[in-house]
Amino acid sequence: MMEASDRELWERAASGDSAAFATPFRRHGRTVYNYCFRRTDEWSTAEDLSSVVFLEAWRKRRQLGSTVRACCPGCSV
């Protein structure tokens, strides 16, 4: 079975499918964390910022649509 693309998952998430949002989080959480850690050099701050990135992506999912890449470095949307 072929996995859904990030674009498909983000479109489903924009429609309110929270389960579809979980997959990009699992796929890209480490990338976002690493990006934040390289910028802050603090693991706890990087964890907090990573959470904020995905929280804001969820809150703004309808406005972001397929432009989520702007707030989620590493996402292949």
pLDDT in tens, the chain (77 residues): 678 888 888 888 888 888 888 888 888 899 999 999 999 999 999 999 999 998 988 888 888 765 555 555 555 44
Number of domains the chain contains = 1
- Expressed in angstroms, the distance from the first to the final Cα of the chain is 20
Residue type, 52: V
Q: What is the pLDDT of residue 77?
A: 42
Summarize the chain as % helix, strand, coil (round to 5): 75, 0, 25
Domain assignment of residue 30, given as a range = 6-70
Q: What is the pLDDT of residue 51?
A: 93
Q: Give, in order, the Cα–Cα distances in Å from 7 to each of 12, 49, 67, 69.
A: 9, 23, 9, 10
Question: Is residue 77, in this structure, part of any structural domain at all?
Answer: no
Question: Is residue 1, in this structure, part of any structural domain at all?
Answer: no
